[in-house]
Amino acid sequence: MDKQQRFNEIKQAYEDIELMEISQGKKEKYYEALMDELKSEFDISMMKKAKPNEENKAVLALYRKLLIGRGLDL
């Protein structure tokens, strides 16, 4: 599976979680799992330092949404 396809799956999972009628605490656990998947699939720390490109921007934007969903900050 290529990285773009994996990213799309993680993004879709995020969107599905957003629509779920579950407690915020449960959503945060799901977000944490998705963050772990993003970290294992993409080198987030390097992306933050690298010259921005479309892939980096999309991955980092989703990572930020997950952070915000968990009540955390970059």
**Where is pLDDT greater, at 63 or 72?**
63
The angle formed by the CA atoms of residues 62, 65 and 71, to the nearest 5 degrees, is 150
The answer to whether 48 and 38 have CB atoms below 8 angstroms apart is no
Domain count within the chain: 1
At 19-71, the pLDDT tens digits run: 999 999 999 999 999 999 999 998 888 887 878 788 888 999 999 999 988 88
Within a domain: 38 = yes
21 three-class SS? coil
Within a domain: 36 = yes
Structural domain harbouring 63: 3-13+25-69
pTM of the model: 0.82
Within a domain: 18 = no
